[in-house]
Amino acid sequence: MQGRWAEGATYAIADVDEIVAYAHERGIRVVPEVDVPGHTYSWGLAYPGINADCPSKIAADIGHINDVPLDPTNPLTLEIVGTIVGEMAARFPDKFLHIGGDEFDVSCWKSTPVCI
């Protein structure tokens, strides 16, 4: 899997279902977070072109995961975000989703002509 932080640093669907069921049995709400538009540099490793152009930030490693945001003008970006939100809605019974939005540097959008 491209874009994961480390080997095994992912949740399988069965893992998510187990966590949600375990929490539900104990009266705990599990509210997932999909931190966008920042924290998505790794998404661009799997889907090139969905991140904003940011030559001053993009490095050969994953060191700028907080700095390189999604490109909201790319239709593929919106399709991927929609798919992820849909999958989350199917797995989590709560009606809420946290989208983060912190640790986001707008300078990449300023250097991407279509985002200005």
Yes or no: say if 73 and 109 are a contact pair by the CB < 8 Å rule: no
Task: Measure the CA dihedral 33/116/54/85, to 10°.
Answer: 20
Q: Assign 110 a pLDDT band (cuts: 50, 70, 90).
A: confident
Q: Active-site positions?
A: 103
Q: CA-CA distances (angstroms) from residue 48 to 18, 89, 91, 110, 115?
A: 32, 25, 27, 19, 17
State residue 54's pLDDT score.
Answer: 76
Q: Assign 63 a pLDDT band (cuts: 50, 70, 90).
A: low
